[in-house]
Amino acid sequence: MDETLSLGRIAGVRVGLHWSVLVIVALIAMALAHGRFPAAHPGHSPVAYWALAVLTAVVFLFSLLAHELAHAVVARRNGVEVEGITLWMLGGTARLRGEAPSPAAELRIAGVGPLTSLLAGGVLAGAAVALDALHVSGLVVEAVAWLGAINILLAVFNALPAAPLDGGRLLRAYLWHRTGDRLRATRGASAAGRALGWFMVLTGFADVLFAGSLSGLWAALIGWFLIAAATAESRQAQIRGVLEGVPVRRVMTPAPVTVAPSVSLSDFLAEGPFSPYRHSAFPVLAADGSVTGLLTVRRVEAVPSQARAHTSVRDVMHPLGEVVTTAPDDPVLDLLPRLQENPARRALVLDRGRLAGILTVADITRALGWPTPPEGPRHQHPPQLSKGQR
């Protein structure tokens, strides 16, 4: 979930908002201003209801932020890098770069979120009792009490043992500790997440069809999100299981076909799609052998046909500064996020400044076709095959 508005850094962690946050703020404010507040404490002006409702919704977002910040801080203390936090319609997401190093670390990172929400709920509930004892406006007490209740509910919901909820990560930590297999543990937690998601979808629609309650649509939406997120998490775990510890050199295409920057596009096209230009992207090499950029067929197609005779490769190529580069011994797993974010969707593999190969998403997809190896010590070099096995 990409952020729309950056809020800067809090505790050294980048924090941002997605535009869908406006939806949840509006829904909460509307429900409180038109429902809960007037029903519990009638007689106040609409302005008072709306002002307190909007303030309550904003405080709720800050409680979500505290939940995610707790994850991020504990993750960093356990050696896991944190890319940032994004608040969005269905809550918040702490983007972690990498996996917890052990089941114990996973337990600490996952468990601190619900504990933070539970603590916040308890503090707010206590504050509501104290404000009521001081005879503060009942409307204010109602808002604080609602915040306390919703944080406790958030803690309980997140503690459910189903991925991608925090409880799912706690379940994964337990299964990982019991089996010693992180991938198997992730599959178990993801299966629980999909089961919970389908339960919420079915019961939500049943609530709409048989009870006529539109609130069931909200439960169905959350359930559908759980199904999608749990499935994606299982897929990510499979990718990590295959690619963990694999260097770029084992996946890349070595000695790719290259093109000179001075070649015109018409001359370039005259050679393809047959030998040697049968690919869709080509490293561009200067006369001294240095890499200057990357030419893609999409860039060539964007040039009008009548202008191609007077347009050189240099004019339309991606400059080297816009291309993802890596070294042959870099881990493929660390490269994958950069590859997915880059428009070219390719990486040039440079060895001491010289071209060693090219790596595409298709290369990684082929690698993922291999059976997932069991967790444990990996061979530094692939086993040698006999002539009869090749």
- Same domain assignment for residues 91 and 224: yes
- Same domain assignment for residues 239 and 298: no
**Which amino acid is it at 92?**
G
* Domain assignment present for 79: yes
- Same domain assignment for residues 12 and 146: yes
Q: Are 211 and 295 in contact (CB under 8 A)?
A: no
Average pLDDT, whole number, for the chain?
86
* Percent above pLDDT 70 for the chain: 91
Give the per-residue pLDDT at 350: 94
φ, ψ dihedrals at 356, nearest 5°: -110, -25
pLDDT higher than 80, residue 213 = no
Quote the number of domains for the chain.
Answer: 2
- Same domain assignment for residues 35 and 184: yes
* Domain assignment present for 180: yes
Q: Are 69 and 11 in contact (CB under 8 A)?
A: yes
Instruction: Spell 293-327 as b/e; 16+ CB within 10 A means b.
Output: bbbbbebbeebeeeebeebbbbebbbebeebbbbe
- Same domain assignment for residues 111 and 218: yes
- Same domain assignment for residues 217 and 231: yes
pLDDT higher than 50, residue 307 = yes
Q: Which domain holds residue 329?
A: 248-368
pLDDT higher than 70, residue 373 = no
pLDDT category at 119 given cuts 50, 70, 90 is very high
- Same domain assignment for residues 51 and 126: yes
pLDDT higher than 90, residue 74 = yes
* Domain assignment present for 376: no
φ, ψ dihedrals at 94, nearest 5°: -95, 115
Max Cα-Cα span within the chain = 89
Domain end residue (candidates: 198, 216, 243): 243
Q: What is the mean pLDDT of residues 346-372?
A: 83
Domain end residue (candidates: 243, 262, 289): 243
Q: What is the mean pLDDT of residues 229-245?
A: 81
pLDDT higher than 90, residue 7 = no
Q: Which of 68, 106, 142, 233 is catalytic?
A: 68
pLDDT, tens digit, 9 for 90 and up, residues 32-51:
999 999 999 998 999 999 99
pLDDT category at 273 given cuts 50, 70, 90 is low
Q: What is the mean pLDDT of residues 185-194?
A: 92
Report the range of poorest mean pLDDT among 197-201, 260-264, 322-326, 344-348: 344-348
Q: Catalytic: 375?
A: no
* Domain assignment present for 137: yes
Domain end residue (candidates: 208, 243, 278): 243
- Same domain assignment for residues 285 and 159: no
pLDDT category at 311 given cuts 50, 70, 90 is very high
Three-class SS state of 19? coil
Q: What is the mean pLDDT of residues 109-120?
A: 94
* Domain assignment present for 379: no
Three-class SS state of 378? coil
pLDDT higher than 80, residue 284 = yes
- Same domain assignment for residues 277 and 234: no
- Same domain assignment for residues 83 and 114: yes
CATH of the domain at 319: 3.10.580.10
pLDDT higher than 80, residue 3 = no
pLDDT higher than 60, residue 92 = yes
* Domain assignment present for 382: no
Each as own residue / partner, the long-range contacts of residues 23-31 (CB below 8 Å, 24 or more positions apart, any chain) are 23/89, 24/57, 24/61, 24/89, 24/90, 25/54, 25/57, 25/58, 25/61, 28/53, 28/56, 28/57, 28/60, 29/53, 29/54, 29/56, 29/57
Supply the angle between the helices 215-243 and 332-341 in degrees, to the nearest 10. 130
Element (H, E) at 291: strand 291-296
pLDDT higher than 80, residue 324 = yes
Report the range of poorest mean pLDDT among 101-110, 198-207, 234-243, 297-306: 234-243
Q: What is the mean pLDDT of residues 266-287?
A: 77
- Same domain assignment for residues 230 and 87: yes
- Same domain assignment for residues 161 and 98: yes
Residue with the larger pLDDT of the pair 362 and 118: 118
Give the per-residue pLDDT at 15: 87
Give the per-residue pLDDT at 383: 43
Closest CA to 33 of 142, 148, 153: 142
Q: What is the mean pLDDT of residues 137-149?
A: 95
Whether omega for the bond prior to residue 42 falls within 30 degrees of 0, making it cis, is no
Structure tokens at 377: 């010590």
pLDDT category at 390 given cuts 50, 70, 90 is very low
